[in-house]
Each structure stands twice: as structure tokens, then as C-alpha cells.
Amino acid sequence: SQQGEEDPQALSIQEGENATMNCSYKTSINNLQWYRQNSGRGLVHLILIRSNEREKHSGRLRVTLDTSKKSSSLLITASRAADTASYFCATDGGGNTPLVFGKGTRLSVIA
Amino acid sequence: GAGVSQSPSNKVTEKGKDVELRCDPISGHTALYWYRQSLGQGLEFLIYFQGNSAPDKSGLPSDRFSAERTGGSVSTLTIQRTQQEDSAVYLCASSGRWSTDTQYFGPGTRLTVL
């Protein structure tokens, strides 16, 4: 069964606003990763947060991880039209197993 | 250095024909993955290689799908007797040593079966 599930499925905001996407998963993990995809092509890695970390920042991105709730959130601050893309969370199964990707959140940032 | 490359970028084929998709991972990456993504959907895991061996083939949808990797580098995904439902973007990714490492994706091959 799918490990990570993003919420919402789609999100539309105005440029300059913040965008928050959530990911829930089912089993224990080593780490959780967020990826971005433009136009249905290859994914680009954004950020990795380890199971013993609670929050991580990278530029305008902020990721939180709550292992007790088995959930993570990705916050994009001061969004830009160029942030329009699909965002996926990916989790491992706690061992050396391949990452499992959720179905993604489609973010539209309107200029 | 060069990223993950895939060829062809687009492939149109007729139902019943065989197709071969190629993936060139980042040099030195031991792990290689194939995914399938239908329009507007998430990634469907197909197969994973560690070196030349495939410890996880659980995602291959049918026996028409096969993949191999030679020399711990290039991988080919073969689909025999293609069906219209095989139409999708096929994505390849590679990562360092462990399957939980960050994955680097190629641009994908868009397969259309008429």
C-alpha cells in the first residue's frame, strides 16, 4: 500500500502567499523527502528530513516532521508563479527499501 | 557532472509492438529505479536495481514488462506486446549506495501506444 499521501490534492494561491502541503504515512521511517515536478517530467529533490529531526529549512522552504503523528508538512513562503508545480513526499519503510511516493499536491501560484 | 539521461524522450508505437526504454544513471550510483506515471497521477514503482541485481521487482505490472542492468550502469526497460494502457511517462532515477538516499531523476520517456 502507498506509504505517503499528500493533502490537499490541489492548491491555488496568489503570488506572495504561503503554501502549505501535508503528507501522512503509515509505518516507521528513516527519513522523509520532498520532491517537485514540473510539467509531468523528472522530479527534483527539494529537501530530506531524518526521523530524528523535527524541522528543517532551505531557502523559502520549511519542512516539519512529527513521527508521533506520522505526518510532515512542506511550507513555501512568499510563493512565486515559478513555484507552480506538483509536490511529492517520499518515504522509506524504515529499512533499506526503495522510497515510496505519494500522489502529490498540485500547486498553482497565480501572479 | 552529467545527470540521469533517458532515451528516447518520446516514443509512439502501435499496439502489439515491443519497445525498449533506456536509462543512463549518474556515474557511480549503484541504485537505479524505474517508475511509471500516468497523466495527472503519482509515481508507480516498477523495479529497483542494486548494482546489476534487482532485489525488488514487485512493481512490474505484468510479465510483458522486464528490465535489466548491465555493468552496474545503463538499464533498459522492455515492454513486450504493448497495450494502450501502457501509455505513460516512464521515469528513471538513480541514487548513491542506499535505496533511502536522495534520488536523482531523468527527464522521462513519454510512451504513447496507439
Chain A residues lying within 8 Å of B36, measured CB to CB: none
Is the Cβ pair A103, B45 closer than 8 Å? no
What average pLDDT does the structure give for chain A? Answer: 90
Residue A40, pLDDT > 70, answer no
Q: What is the DSSP letter of B56?
A: E
Question: How far is B11 from B87, CA to CA, in rounded Å?
Answer: 10
The pLDDT value given to residue A1:
43
- Scan residues 41-80 of B and list those with Cβ closer than 8 Å to A: 41-43, 45, 48, 56
The pLDDT assigned to B81 comes to 98
Kindly state the average pLDDT of the residues B76-86.
Answer: 97
pLDDT value, residue A90:
92
pLDDT bracket for residue A21 (50, 70, 90): very high
Chain segment A54-107, per-residue pLDDT in tens: 999 999 999 999 999 999 999 999 999 999 999 999 988 766 677 888 889 999
Q: How far is A53 from B56, CA to CA, in rounded Å?
A: 29
Strands A100-101 vs A85-91: parallel, antiparallel or unpaired? antiparallel
Q: Give the mean model confidence (pLDDT) for residues B10-29.
A: 96
Is A42 close to B91, i.e. CB distance below 8 A?
yes
pLDDT score, position A2: 47
CB A86 within 8 A of CB A106: yes
Q: How high is the pLDDT of residue B42?
A: 83
- Which stretch of A79-93, B14-28, B90-104 has the lowest confidence by average pLDDT? B90-104
Residues with Cβ within 8 Å of A23's Cβ and at least 6 positions away in sequence, in order, are A4, A5, A6, A7, A32, A34, A71, A72, A73, A74, A89, A91, A102
Give the per-residue pLDDT at A14.
97
Q: What are residue B14's phi and psi, to 5 degrees?
A: -95, 145
Among the listed residues B92, B54, B38, B83, the one whose alpha carbon sits nearest the alpha carbon of residue A40: B38
